[in-house]
Chains A and B, each alone.
Chain A
């Protein structure tokens, strides 16, 4: 009797779970949310003209590095454009990192490194400090250390003692010293190296490990998931949720989870371009900043969503590429400021995107059927 009751109760739970899963999947299929609400900051509304090279979110503040200085936005409003006249080391700002403990803002420029603290800039250059080079491409905070990616190797600044360390071909396995980007993980720091692949630095054991293109060919990819797709790496992003690092190159996208490599090209994925300026990843999201739009990739569902203004009309288009290779294009009333994407950062579920013609702020909205879809011939994207 008790056994029959328990069985009946179990069936009820199964039914409820089943109905819930069905309902949520139907809802997801019918009412997906896309980034359809875009606010753009361009020269038309007081933003510096031209390229935005980087964007970093710090709570309700957003820092954007441009070719004409560093822009601070608070709650979506432009507060200040810092230039060399304000004390910034260089006019072209390539990277920004915020020290969450001290509130200091570290700025990598073409002209040296700046620290913005207490309303004042302090600059570090090749001549006045241990900075390896004034061409600073990346900065990242790791505890008390600041890591700096320069064209002459990597610096580590101990912000407590002020002592500098330099890592280059002389003391680390740099095939080339031209370091283009940094990503901080809990156990390792990852570096994107132009011509030298990806380098990781193990924080506990203090050793370096290079990841390079195994085929040794600049012009070719020998096998699909051969290892790193190309040695000219434009950026790297460690995803702590999936324990995977992603590397963007000017010839495709790579990921490595510690066991397997996966590579992505336009020919086998929903990437709109193989020319990728930057990558960022968290959870199930991988964002590729390409020269033909911003792509969001979900490795679990093997689905790609690309956002960009239509090249001819300038209207917003969202291109969805499903695992079977079929594509669907939908329209959006607002879109990114430009389709040449350089960088992005997250603010909750919102994203801030650095483009070649201004900064864009995107918010997800449930998609309401508003445009006709277009199906392409299906082709498998199966891994």
Chain B
């Protein structure tokens, strides 16, 4: 057949749509109770009595700058937001900005004390070099004198912000999942999302204990976040006595998706874990679809961030009405904040045309928490830090937030796993 058959083209599109729908239909929410949160520390060490632990030997921050002499006195107070606004992660960045703007609007309906106005100071973290990110952080902290800094899911940028925040004395609320930002009592950082360790334990428990799988393939980025996820998954598997996952590492700048597909065809795993950036996860899922790969796919929170640019999520959701990976966080068993969450999700969709990701919800909460802290503590970074550190059982749209002494958010965690239910429907146009 030389001529292109239009019906074939439509059929192909329909099949792709059906596939995409089916891949999202099985959005498995892996809910873990609060009690599981400390498994990270407990599972790593078999030694009964360590000589010292931060939980018992750590101490509260005794630093300076709480006095009125350190107050910011200008008419405008800035909340910094570090987000990627160009390049492949632009969609995730724009989602954070949209959510942060909504939060600022919602939280400042009531005038701030002393007549000060709160505004967002947005720094674009996209760029090829760390030099750029450092300069953006410095600009926000030293030039715009932000009262607090909210960082994206990028773990490296979170660390840079943490180190600057620790020296200068600026509260940092990060959406990064890198557990090392909050494993020790660095007083200035608070992490809203689940740590890599916790995500890995939840996934490992589901993969190895609940499903009894033996062969898991982990695909991660060759960067700081990917390495963190890789180590966390290996550790989680070991702690369960399961065989460690095979690992494929992708260069995030030049990902070789064809090699991934070839590897999977050569050694089909029972399940795949994606610990990559969201844009890479989206493209890879598309490759898996076209390559007729049926293994269930588990997504780290960063990989599951959805935005307008992520084809697999909105398309599937629209086609079936089923939850998408980006929606996963909104469907939890904890109904405590359901109304606020639904309202946020609905207004976010109206505003942006797509579902909010977990990171967008966390950005919304980070800004709301900061405004709340400024109201209570006044325009002072150290006192704002103290207020944020005291947050307990606070209902937010991403969950009920409680920070422990290291700045970990103890809220429940929701992760998505995608599984094809009717794989035969999508295999027609592609040879097996």
Contact = CB atoms under 8 A, between A and B. Distances in A.
A247 B45 CA distance: 25
A134 B184 contact: no
Contact of A133 (B44, B52, B70, B134): B134
B168 A92 contact: yes
Contacts of B61: 275, 291
Contacts of B41: 217, 219-220
Contacts of B137: 135
Interface string B183-203: 111100000000000000000
Nearest to B186: A250
A274 B64 contact: no
A110 B129 CA distance: 17
Contacts of A127: 131
A222 B52 CA distance: 7
A222 B50 contact: yes
A267 interface: yes
A250 B184 contact: yes
A176 B180 CA distance: 12
Contacts of B131: 126-127, 132-134, 152
Contacts of A217: 41, 44-45, 50
A47 B131 CA distance: 31
A382 B308 CA distance: 63
B135 A126 contact: yes
B258 interface: no
A230 B185 CA distance: 12
A178 to B, nearest CB: 6
B62 A178 contact: no
Interface string B76-110: 00000000000000000000000000000000000
B47 interface: yes
A356 B65 contact: yes
B59 interface: yes
Contact of B134 (A67, A134, A220, A267): A134
A236 to B, nearest CB: 16
Contacts of A221: 50-53
Interface residues of B, number: 41
DSSP majority for the A interface?
A: loop
A54 B68 CA distance: 24
Nearest to B52: A221
Nearest to B41: A219
Given A265-B57, A267-B57, A220 B184 contact: no
A111 interface: yes
Interface residues of A, number: 55
A51 B65 CA distance: 9
B128 to A, nearest CB: 12
Interface string A49-88: 1110100000000000001000000000000000000000
Contacts of A152: 130-131, 134
A230 B129 CA distance: 28
A216 B41 CA distance: 11
Contacts of A338: 64
Nearest to A135: B134
B58 A111 contact: no
A254 interface: no
Nearest to A150: B134
Contacts of B159: 176, 178, 194-195
Contacts of B142: 90-92, 110-111
Most A CB within 10 A of own CB, among B57, B70, B142, B167: B167
A126 B138 CA distance: 13
Given A133-B130, A135-B160, A251 B65 contact: no
B62 A110 contact: no
Contacts of B53: 219-221
Given A110-B164, A195-B159, A219 B183 contact: yes
Given A151-B134, A340-B64, 6 more contacts: A50-B70, A51-B64, A134-B131, A178-B160, A218-B179, A221-B50
15 contacts: A43-B69, A50-B65, A51-B168, A133-B130, A135-B138, A178-B160, A218-B54, A219-B184, A222-B47, A224-B51, A266-B57, A274-B58, A274-B59, A275-B185, A357-B64
Question: Top 8 nearest A-B pairs by Cβ distance?
Answer: A356-B64, A126-B131, A218-B183, A221-B52, A220-B50, A135-B134, A291-B62, A152-B130
